[in-house]
């Protein structure tokens, strides 16, 4: 696989939108934006600004990457469609980034379990359980959706909880786990595109780039619109 020389990364899995660029020699640029408007209004402008800070053109990129979920259904579609359009226009491979792994990469160095959580609404979170072992991220429990209590079930050692899901249910989680909980500073609860960019150019994240057509969102459950449609269909039969 050719090395990652210059990469642009987009994350739109949560209410926060982040874009970053990096290369193997060190120059990097990133933007993080939290606004009530849809990410579609800002993401491409952010990408242009990030590259302009490095005096890079889009056609100088060698790779692209995008968070593929789980997370906000609308946000994921915006990020993925933006990257697919660029990848097709530039003929570039794409790294499809699991959103929960991206959060776990921001906890590198933690000795115990790492439980990233993204708010899934309906009193649920998207979650997974990882552990850092000899600079490698090991999956203890694969991505799933459930109550915050389910996410930490059977954990009986100091654990790091991060992500907007962990923040939303912080009191519940502290009550469930007692003193065995760690919560990072606020900014580290947001997926950072720059975290992914630096890990990929350093070959620290063992992902294989794919064609744009192969990039698909990871939802883990049906959208509210699908649930409502199925309920209406059931009522009429």
Helix, strand, or coil here: 177? Answer: helix
Give pLDDT, residue 103.
Answer: 97
76 and 69 in contact (C-beta within 8 Å)? yes
Give pLDDT, residue 43.
Answer: 96
Domain count, the chain: 2
Give pLDDT, residue 229.
Answer: 46
Residue 177, domain extent: 107-189
**Would 231 be classed as within a structural domain?**
no
The mean pLDDT of the chain is 91
Residue pLDDT, tens place only, 11-68: 999 999 999 999 988 779 999 998 877 899 999 999 999 999 999 999 999 999 999 9
**Would 169 be classed as within a structural domain?**
yes
Give pLDDT, residue 178.
Answer: 84
Give pLDDT, residue 235.
Answer: 58
Tell me the HSE value of 196 on the side-chain side, using a 13 A CA sphere. 31
Residue pLDDT, tens place only, 100-147: 999 999 999 898 999 999 999 999 999 999 999 988 999 999 999 999
Between helix 43-53 and helix 73-90 the angle, nearest 10°, is: 50
Strands 113-121 and 159-162: parallel
Q: Which of 185-189, 207-211, 223-227 has the highest mean pLDDT?
A: 207-211
Q: Are 50 and 112 contained in the same domain?
A: no
Q: Are 24 and 74 contained in the same domain?
A: yes
The Cα 205–Cα 97 span in angstroms is: 10
Q: Are 88 and 15 contained in the same domain?
A: yes
pTM score, two decimals?
A: 0.91
């Amino acid at each position: 696989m050719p090395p990652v020389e210059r990469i642009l990364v987009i994350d739109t899995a949560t209410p926060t939108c982040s874009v970053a660029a990096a290369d193997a020699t060190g120059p990097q640029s990133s933007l993080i934006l939290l606004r009530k408007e849809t990410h579609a209004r800002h993401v491409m402008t952010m990408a242009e600004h990030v590259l302009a800070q490095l005096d890079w053109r889009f056609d100088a990129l060698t790779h692209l990457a995008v968070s593929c979920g789980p997370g906000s259904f609308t946000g994921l579609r915006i990020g993925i469609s933006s990257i697919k359009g660029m990848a097709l226009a530039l003929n570039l491979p794409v790294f499809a980034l699991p959103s929960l792994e991206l959060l776990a990469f921001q906890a590198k160095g933690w000795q115990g379990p790492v439980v990233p959580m993204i708010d899934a609404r309906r009193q649920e979170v998207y979650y997974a359980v990882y552990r850092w072992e000899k600079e490698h991220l090991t999956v203890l429990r694969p991505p799933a959706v459930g109550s915050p209590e389910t996410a930490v079930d059977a954990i009986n050692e100091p654990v790091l909880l991060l992500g907007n899901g962990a923040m939303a249910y912080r009191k519940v989680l502290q009550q469930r786990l007692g003193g065995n909980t760690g919560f990072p500073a606020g900014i580290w609860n947001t997926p950072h595109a720059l975290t992914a960019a630096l890990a990929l150019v350093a070959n620290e994240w063992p992902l294989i780039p794919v064609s744009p057509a192969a990039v698909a969102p990871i939802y883990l459950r049906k959208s509210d619109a699908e649930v409502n449609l199925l309920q209406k269909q059931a009522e009429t039969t």
